[in-house]
Each structure stands twice: as C-alpha cells, then as structure tokens.
Amino acid sequence: MRNSNEEIEKRREQIIKHLEFNPNVTALDLAVKFRTSSLTIRRDFEYLEKNKLIERHRGGATLTQTSFQTNIFSSSLTLNKHAIARAAAQTVEDGDTIFINTSSTALLMLEYITAKQVTIITNNLKVVFCPIKESHFVLLTGGEVRMPKESLVGEFAMNNLNQVTAQKCFLGCSGISATGGFTTAVLQEVQINLAMLKRTSGKKYLLADKSKVGIIHSFKTSNIESIDCLITDNQADILELDKIKKKGIEIIRSSVSKLN
C-alpha cells in the first residue's frame, strides 16, 4: 500500500533534520534508518533538490546554504516555509523596494525572487548568511541585536525605517487570526513591524505557515485589516482562513502536496 502524503512529508522533513547534523550520510544509510528502499530515498532526494533544499552528490546529499541557515532557526515545517516563500517571491516585480522582517520564511524569498533591481530592506541579521543575487540590493536597518533570532530592533532601527518607503512588505508572525489579528512572540519587534506596515505604499503581505494560522500570540502588532494578503500553505486551517477572508483579506495558499 502506498504511503500517504502525510507520511511522505514527515519522512522528508526528518531527512532534512538528519542532514543538519550528519552531512556525510548516504542514501543507503537513510534507507536503513527510515526502513524503506534506497530508491524511495533517491526519489526524496530528487524532490528536495528540485525545491532547492539539498544538493545531491554521489551516494548522498547535503543541505543548501539557505536551507541550512533556515533550519538552524527552525527545522520544523521546512517544506511549508519554502512553498510560502516561493509564492511570495512571485509577487515581487522589477524595481521593487520591499521590507522583510525577522521571519525565516520571508527571508527564504531571496532564493526565489527572479525580479531584477530589487532592494530588500530588513532587520533580519541572518540575511548576511544568504546568497545575494547580483541584481538585488540588501540594506540592513541597523539597531540593537536581539538574540536568539538575531533581529535588529530599537530606536536606531526605527529611525532608519522612518526615512524610507517600500512598495511592498513581507512580514512573518507568531500568530494570525481573524479575532486576534497579527501577533508576535517578541515585544521589541512590534514597533518594527508597525513601522514597516506604515512605510509601505503598496501591498502588505503576511507570511504564515499552518502552525501559526488561528493562533493568538503574546504581543499584538495590529488588527488583521492592516494587511492586504495572507500567504500560507494548503495545510492551514480552512475554517480560520474563511474567517480571515471574510475580513476582506486576500488568501494565497501555496501547495506543499506535490510530492512526486
């Protein structure tokens, strides 16, 4: 009997986690570990390479640089995050200036943006580990470094943000719901998020995987009406998405179910 999509996704997530700490592992090793065939693992490798999560080599695979940096921050839901980042990247146009906050999902957009002459303004210090394309320009807000997320916050960051305007913003969150709005786990990031929303002249996007939809976290950034579009995955709570849509918010559901 064929494995369910959920089982396949779970195995591929576990392969990514295993590669973080075992970069020299082979397909045969993984086949033994997950009690499956080497052919199945090679198919998993093909899927993960196609989605730019790994690079294959003779007998095995290693994580890509961007995938590795993202997984240091959060190993869970990696496939969902990449699917959301790809969908978000498609909305960026030539010549855009965009805001990206401390979201690991939003930062993945840099790998998928194909538009030219794009300026990315971010308070996410992890951007220094990301490969930057020649036609993209990255500006850090500066400010106080807050660990462990390596976010830039405080008055210095705020002053710099208030001097610029972006055409679009792509913000991550800790929770998003129709009643609770846009919430975060870090108090110091609320003002940064608000400044990015305020200084965006065009469309405002919120990026949230299934684990954040319907969740209300500690600190509220804004009501849900402050954003224009929610980009999530096709595994998010459909009832909560319907409630959000009724608030006038566009919903983009990126697919993580194409497993073959």
pLDDT tens-digit readout, 43-74: 888 888 887 778 888 778 887 765 555 544 44
Which of 17-31, 79-93, 210-224 has the weakest average pLDDT? 17-31
Mean pLDDT, residues 239-260 = 86
Give the model's pLDDT for residue 131. 82
* Segment 103-133, tens digit of pLDDT: 989 999 998 999 999 999 999 998 988 888 9
**Model pTM?**
0.75
Task: Write down the pLDDT at residue 79.
Answer: 82
Residue with tokens 């500006």: 139
Q: What is the largest CA-CA distance in the chain?
A: 59
Residues 224-254 as b/e (b if ≥16 CB within 10 A, e otherwise) read: bebbbbbbbbebbeeebbebbeeeebeebbb
Distance CA 234, CA 162 (A): 35
Per-residue burial over 48-76, b if 16 or more Cβ lie within 10 Å, else e, is beebebbeeeeebbbbbebbbbbbeeeee
Neighbours of 219 (CB within 10 A): 15
Mean pLDDT, residues 223-228: 96
Task: Give the pLDDT score at 72.
Answer: 42
Q: What is the pLDDT of residue 198?
A: 97
104-128: b (≥16 Cβ within 10 Å) or e: bbbbbbbbbbebeebbbbbbbbbbe
Helix residue ranges per DSSP H, 119-187: 155-161
What domains sit in the chain, N to C, each tagged with a CATH number?
5-63 (1.10.10), 76-254 (3.40.50.1360)
Give the bridge partners for 151, in sequence order: 124, 146
Are 39 and 28 spatial neighbours (Cβ–Cβ below 8 Å)? no
Averaged pLDDT of the chain = 88
Cβ–Cβ < 8 Å for 201, 131: no
Residue at 35: amino acid letter: R
